[in-house]
């Protein structure tokens, strides 16, 4: 099902589409980052269908690509809103007219708070949320919003955490909720957490994630009583690896949720998937029945610039072009200058410089300078942020669209 875009989003995306590429954009020479349209469309539909079946909403994390075109496609596929990590990211999406933005972080930037107050005052249809995990954070929000009235209360979510931000104890979470509820500028609209700081996909890790989600669910009921405000109450968690566990635990019967609880997942990597960390760890990879089947959509095309040794080729893509925090790029296939295919059996990227990739390969591999190698990547976040303009390809490798990023 396709949902209509808010008019302002559609209007500003049309203006973006008509904007010519700038000389500062990486153009369509090589290396070139591409998105496979069939994988994008399939991942959008698969996740939307799965969320509907699981009884949860989706606010995909916009920091992954910082692309208004892709976020708009997620809205059109039924997304509840778009998640961001900083007030700067929120401002970017708001500049394109996005009507509901969830800042999955504490907001203590006073200039940013004042700007947000102005946006809320100017547009009654705009909804924004942020986190609180301390009475100091509540006090900062209250002081700035008192000085810069938004005309309505700012909804905040009380965050609990494991190793990163968030209240470390439930008692502190309740104290923070009470402090926010006592202000005249904030309303406690829910609870939040992030389970992605837990590593691993073994039974122990999955049990830890489940336990954390049950804690969040149990806290929700108590915080809702403290909030004492009518309207939608939110429980949100869910990165791109354990979203099945999050949905299961937060929607479980007897969780203690107040009536009308909305469970919101914040997964962002699902749209792109990858050839590395997500391919090995997402629910379908773990054999979860009914999990959405996702396909890698990102591919990085690089030229062979040198074949100085029989077992080594140097490619034109490096650390400036591809993420390497969760694994090196993966050789997928090659295309010769004459259009023919070259076999890459056993080939492996073993290192990256700023603008070179070291491709170790069989001495008999028919690969020469000028040939193209298609690379898969691991962890899309740290590849997408290196590109301002990304080509969208059909399954015959024709460029059919482009998307912009605003990092």
- The percentage of the chain sitting over the pLDDT mark of 70, rounded to a whole number, equals 97
Do 226 and 311 have their domain in common?
no
What CATH number does the domain containing 405 carry?
A: 2.40.37.20
Do 288 and 390 have their domain in common?
yes
Do 300 and 262 have their domain in common?
no
Bridge partners, residue 351, by sequence? 358
14: in domain? no
Q: What is the pLDDT of residue 27?
A: 65
Contact 293, 44 (CB under 8 A): no
Do 407 and 289 have their domain in common?
yes
Last residue of a domain, one of 208, 241, 267: 267
47: in domain? no
Last residue of a domain, one of 267, 301, 330: 267
209-258 confidence digits (pLDDT tens):
999 999 999 999 899 988 886 678 999 998 999 999 999 999 985 455 66
What range defines the domain where residue 403 resides?
Answer: 20-37+271-407
Do 197 and 86 have their domain in common?
yes
15: in domain? no
Do 176 and 294 have their domain in common?
no
Do 302 and 343 have their domain in common?
yes
CA-to-CA distance for 148 and 125, rounded, in angstroms? 19
Do 250 and 304 have their domain in common?
no
Do 130 and 262 have their domain in common?
yes
Q: What is the pLDDT of residue 15?
A: 95
Do 228 and 316 have their domain in common?
no
Q: What is the average pLDDT score of the chain?
A: 95
- Res. 88 pLDDT band, cuts 50 70 90: very high
Residue 357 has pLDDT above 60, yes or no: yes
Q: Which helix (H) or strand (E) holds 312?
A: strand 312-315
Contact 166, 194 (CB under 8 A): yes
2: in domain? no
What CATH number does the domain containing 247 carry?
A: 3.20.20.10
Do 194 and 224 have their domain in common?
yes
Long-range CB contacts for residues 363-369, cutoff 8 Å, separation at least 24: 363/310, 363/311, 365/313, 366/336, 366/342, 367/304, 367/307, 367/313, 367/334, 367/336, 367/342, 368/304, 368/307, 368/336, 368/337, 369/303, 369/304, 369/305, 369/306, 369/307
96-114 confidence digits (pLDDT tens):
999 999 999 999 999 999 9
The domain total for the chain is 2
């Amino acid at each position: 099902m396709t949902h209509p875009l808010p008019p302002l989003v559609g209007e500003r995306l049309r203006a973006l589409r008509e904007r010519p590429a700038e000389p500062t954009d990486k153009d369509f020479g090589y290396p070139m980052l591409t998105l496979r349209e069939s994988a994008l469309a399939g991942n959008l539909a698969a996740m939307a269908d799965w969320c509907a079946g699981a009884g949860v909403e989706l606010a995909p994390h916009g920091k992954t690509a910082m692309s208004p075109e892709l976020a708009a496609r997620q809205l059109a596929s039924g997304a509840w809103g778009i998640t961001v990590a900083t007030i700067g990211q929120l401002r970017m999406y708001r500049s394109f007219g996005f009507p509901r933005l969830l800042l999955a972080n504490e907001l203590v930037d006073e200039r940013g708070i004042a700007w947000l107050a102005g946006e809320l005052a100017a547009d009654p249809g705009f909804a924004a949320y942020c986190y609180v995990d301390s009475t100091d954070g509540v006090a900062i929000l209250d002081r700035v919003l008192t000085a810069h009235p938004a005309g309505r209360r700012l909804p905040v979510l009380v965050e609990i955490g494991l190793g990163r931000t968030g209240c470390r104890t439930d008692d502190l979470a309740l104290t923070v909720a009470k402090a926010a509820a006592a202000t005249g500028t904030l309303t406690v609209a829910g609870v939040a957490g992030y389970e992605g700081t837990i590593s691993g996909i073994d039974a122990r890790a999955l049990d830890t994630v489940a336990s954390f989600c049950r804690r969040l669910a149990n806290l929700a009921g108590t915080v809702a009583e403290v909030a004492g405000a009518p309207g939608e109450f939110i429980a949100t968690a869910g990165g791109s690896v354990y979203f099945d566990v999050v949905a299961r635990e937060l929607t479980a019967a007897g969780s203690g949720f107040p009536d009308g609880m909305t469970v919101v997942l914040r997964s962002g990597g699902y749209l792109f998937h990858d050839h590395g960390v997500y391919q090995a760890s997402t629910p379908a990879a773990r054999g979860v029945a009914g999990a959405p089947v996702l396909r890698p959509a990102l591919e990085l095309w690089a030229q062979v610039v040198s074949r100085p040794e029989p077992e080594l080729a140097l490619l034109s893509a490096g650390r400036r072009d591809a993420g390497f925090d969760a694994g090196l790029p993966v050789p997928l296939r090659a295309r010769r200058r004459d259009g023919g295919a070259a076999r890459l059996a056993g080939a492996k990227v073993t290192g990256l410089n700023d603008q070179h990739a070291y491709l170790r390969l069989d001495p008999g591999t028919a690969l020469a300078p000028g040939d193209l190698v298609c690379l898969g990547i691991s962890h899309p976040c740290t590849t997408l942020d290196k590109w301002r303009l990304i080509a969208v390809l059909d399954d015959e490798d024709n460029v059919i669209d482009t998307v912009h990023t605003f990092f």
